[in-house]
Amino acid sequence: MKRIIPFILTILICVPAITAQAQQTRNDPVGNWKFEAPYAPEGYNTGTIQIGHTDNKLTASIGFPGSDYKIPGEKVRFENDQLFFTVYIEGADINIGLKMESNIKMSGAASTPDGQVPLTLVREEVKK
């Protein structure tokens, strides 16, 4: 009887911890995202960011309204629910850092020569 009580207590403590860990979902940045940067210059304050995989490497590109051209991202990495990449726009490297708040929302900032510009991204719905 003395051995059964510690065994039961161990099970009661471990099972909820294992279940909670198994239920955590991992955010995945791959997809199409609409962004807003209200403090960015006109023409650069909205657009899309596409995150994908090519040759087992994460890729990123950014597009702006009125243009079909996508600016490729460089040094793309995703660690601990944070996405980082650099784009070259109008003669300057723009470093972008984003934190995934959920599987459908990211927020962060673009580091420009003129300072930090806040960004918010929302995942575009997949068209069926």
CA distance 127 to 90: 33
Q: Where are the domains of the chain?
A: 31-123
- Residues 41, 43: Cα–Cα separation, whole Å: 6
The whole-number average pLDDT for the span 108-124 is: 95
At residue 29's C-alpha, the angle toward residues 23 and 35, to 5°, is 125
Instruction: Count Cβ atoms below 10 Å from residue 25 Cβ, excluding itself.
Output: 7
Q: Could you say which architecture CATH assigns to the domain 31-123?
A: Beta Barrel (2.40)
Q: What is the pLDDT of residues 22-72, one digit of tens each?
A: 445 578 899 999 999 999 999 999 999 999 999 989 999 999 998 899 999
